[in-house]
Structure 1
Amino acid sequence: MKTLQREYFFLIVRIRLNQIKSSIKKAVIDLNLFKHYPSNDRQIRYQRYATRLYLILIVISVGSLSVYHLIRKRIQRKTILNPSLSKYLELSQINSIDLYCPCTSISTSYSTLISIEVHYHQLCSSYLVSSRWIAYSNSISRILGDLYDYRNHAGNQFQTLSMFCEQAQQIMNNSLSIFLKTNLFSLQVIRKNQLKSQLDSAIEDWKSSKINQFISTIDLIRNTTQGNQLMNRLNIFFQFPDDVRTILEPRIYGDCNCAFFASLCSTPMEIFAYSYILLIENFYVGCYLIDALLLSTLECFYNKI
């Protein structure tokens, strides 16, 4: 009798479990989180597919976050008072991302971090811009000679070169002292590569601004001279047609007229000695002194004979 009761009990339990299993299976199959009315059978089927995909993604996301939380490293914060440079470098190699080292002073001048030595073009230290050479070049001037003669223009060309060198040195000397007094601000110690990058960027910006300042000064002189068609004592832009008339006419260098292409008109200088003419290559004279000078290379003073 007890055996029959036990079997009957297990049968009832098995039936109940099967019913629960069927109910759960049906509930899972029929689960629809995106249902809306009215919907046809096809729409309901796709809504159930979307529900299953949604639940799978939620399970994967929760599982991933749980695994990450379990395996991630525990960060321990430790304070070291007044660390040495070697200690800081050692710690930065271990964990540079989370390392925080506040500064006792939030600003420091560039002069304490870097030193800058300015190098000028070799021309600015050559004899060509020396006072003795300029004086000599002026002493051989032949104003009444041929217009293209080297001796008529050399002194003025070298004087202009000397002026450019002095201007460049003055600009750099004044701006360098100001630049080195500029402060670098930071609340914490900056990593070496980051500090180098910031300083390199600041230096390049400073160099670029000074170069532009120098070029702008020269362009201002050129534009003022050309825009007003100013004359000079060498009379290289205008000419008198003859000794009787006083009408001023633009000079012509080759096929180039100073009235139309003043900044482009130029011709190589020459040295006239009776019937002999010596052409000086790549050392020009033109409508304007500065434009002709910028076209010149001065290679004739460096070439070995």
Structure 2
Amino acid sequence: MKTESSTITVLDITPVKFDELYSKHKKTLSCPCSTISMPLKTFVSNIIKLHPVCKSIFVNQSWIEALYLLNASQYGVWDFRTTASSQFALLSDFCSIAEDMISHIENDVGNNDFITAYLLTDIQIEFEANSTTESFKNSASARIIMFLNYLRTTVRGNYLVSALNTNLIIEISADTDNWFVAIASTVMYNSTSGRRLSCRDDNPTSAATLNPLLNDSVTLDRIQKFESMPNSTIVSGFFAACTPLEALLQSTLDCLYEIECLHLLSDYFPVLNHMGANWTDSVLTSKQQNLSVNDYFNNLFIEEWLTKINYSKYFNECHPSVCTYTATDRAGISYAITLLISLYGGLVIILRLIAAFLVNITLKFKHRPRNARIHFGNFLGYIKKKFHRKYN
């Protein structure tokens, strides 16, 4: 079928006119930009919502100092008093690192050149901006994961000793000659298979607890065992491990969502009562996601990242002067229909002529004797003669 098409040019393009053209001719519509390269920050802005813990009292220096105990290393690895201050200090550092990286991501995304030769729709622009942002976010998360893996491997591979006696206990004693002797004892725990292992062999964790016993009543032999004391109260969502870092990475921060748990902490950390904080106002109120700090940190503590597009600014930067699209000519369709009807009429006439001729011949041969022989040459001559007589 023969088709005819033509290119239509439209001037004085506006966002409204572009939307109308795109809805009707999106397959062939083309609107060249006057400016093909522009920084994303020209028309893209971000609304970022961080995990509330990074804006809470729990990462303030006053909270961290209130959890600090001079004799923290004497409680045992399972007791939350041993590592509480260190864990929240690390949490504060993690939040600071995440906020710095988010700031860098915003700058990198904003300064990234958006290159397009033709005007795009708002949906296409939003998709491109989100893709660019996700690329930078994923790159930052990958660097965080590499950093943590390197740090954890270094600590464990070199058996770096924690000053809090969580993976190795250093005891200094005097012998009979008044010589001071340092004795190192590894912290042991029972694995699920029944074997006794040290922090060099594995990376154990257990629920962090608080026990009313005084620290001077806990013997050295008992501190070496990676087991909580009887009648201990679990600090929900926090863990004990070979190092404060490993303990924090496994934590889900459940205690910070529960006012009863905050009151429990104030019972074991007396300085908290002098902060003048209202625990009802301090407790985290956002939706609890049951994720670990490791998961939060890998995602830079981002709960929500919304990309806002100012399409008017993008349109003005692109500044298309004309748009073109291809339209199918209706005359071509009329021509095709007329041709089809003509062919149909011609075929009808030809078939009528042939049908009448064949019927006439059939009747002639029907009345011949059955035993009559027909010579093929005479037969052709007969047909030729009849055809000539009929149409001349």
Report deviation, 1:208.
Answer: 1.8
Cα deviation code 1:99-126 (max 9, x no counterpart): 1111110112211232112221111112
- Structure 2 equivalent of residue 290 of structure 1: 245
- Structure 1 equivalent of residue 256 of structure 2: 301
- Structure 2 equivalent of residue 95 of structure 1: 25
- Structure 2 equivalent of residue 253 of structure 1: 189
- Structure 1 equivalent of residue 74 of structure 2: 145
Report deviation, 1:129.
Answer: 0.8
Report deviation, 1:156.
Answer: 0.6
Report deviation, 1:91.
Answer: 1.4
Structure 2 distance, partners of 1:257, 1:163, is: 28
Cα deviation code 1:50-93 (max 9, x no counterpart): xxxxxxxxxxxxxxxxxx21xx3x32223233411111221112
Q: What amino acid does structure 1 have at the position aligned with 2:102? A: M
1:264 matched to 2:204: yes
- Structure 1 equivalent of residue 55 of structure 2: 125
**Tell me, what secondary structure is at the counterpart of 1:233?**
coil
Cα deviation code 1:185-206 (max 9, x no counterpart): 1111123433333223222222
- Indicate if the aligned counterparts of 1:149 and 1:272 stay in contact, CA closer than 8 A: no
Report deviation, 1:247.
Answer: 4.2
Structure 2 distance, partners of 1:108, 1:272, is: 64
Structure 2 distance, partners of 1:243, 1:278, is: 33
Matches within 5 A, 1:1-305: 68-69=1-2, 72=3, 74-138=4-68, 140-143=69-72, 145-147=74-76, 148-240=78-170, 243=173, 246-255=182-191, 256-261=197-202, 263-274=203-214, 277-305=232-260
- Indicate if the aligned counterparts of 1:238 and 1:250 stay in contact, CA closer than 8 A: yes
- Indicate if the aligned counterparts of 2:239 and 2:250 stay in contact, CA closer than 8 A: yes
Q: What amino acid does structure 1 have at the position aligned with 2:188? A: I
**Tell me, what secondary structure is at the counterpart of 1:119?**
strand
- Structure 1 equivalent of residue 359 of structure 2: none
- Indicate if the aligned counterparts of 1:142 and 1:151 stay in contact, CA closer than 8 A: no
Q: Structure 1: 5+ residue runs without aligned partners?
A: 1-67
Q: Which moved more, 1:164-173 or 1:107-116?
A: 107-116
Q: Give the % identical residues.
A: 24
Q: Structure 2: 5+ residue runs without aligned partners?
A: 175-180, 192-196, 218-230, 261-392
Return the structure number with greater relative CO, CA threshold 8 A, min gap 6. 2
Query: For the aligned residues, what is the CA RMSD?
Result: 2.3
Cα deviation code 1:235-281 (max 9, x no counterpart): 211124773653433211344421200x2344523233449743324
Structure 1 distance, partners of 2:26, 2:169, is: 74
| Distance change (3 Å), C-alpha of 1:233 and 1:193 | same
Structure 1 distance, partners of 2:130, 2:237, is: 37
| Distance change (3 Å), C-alpha of 1:278 and 1:195 | closer
Structure 2 distance, partners of 1:117, 1:292, is: 32
TM-score using structure 1 length: 0.69
| Distance change (3 Å), C-alpha of 1:195 and 1:277 | closer
**Tell me, what secondary structure is at the counterpart of 2:258?**
coil
Report deviation, 1:153.
Answer: 1.5
Aligned pair count reads 233
Report deviation, 1:167.
Answer: 0.4
- Indicate if the aligned counterparts of 1:150 and 1:271 stay in contact, CA closer than 8 A: no
Structure 2 distance, partners of 1:150, 1:102, is: 64
Structure 2 distance, partners of 1:181, 1:144, is: 49
| Distance change (3 Å), C-alpha of 1:178 and 1:168 | same
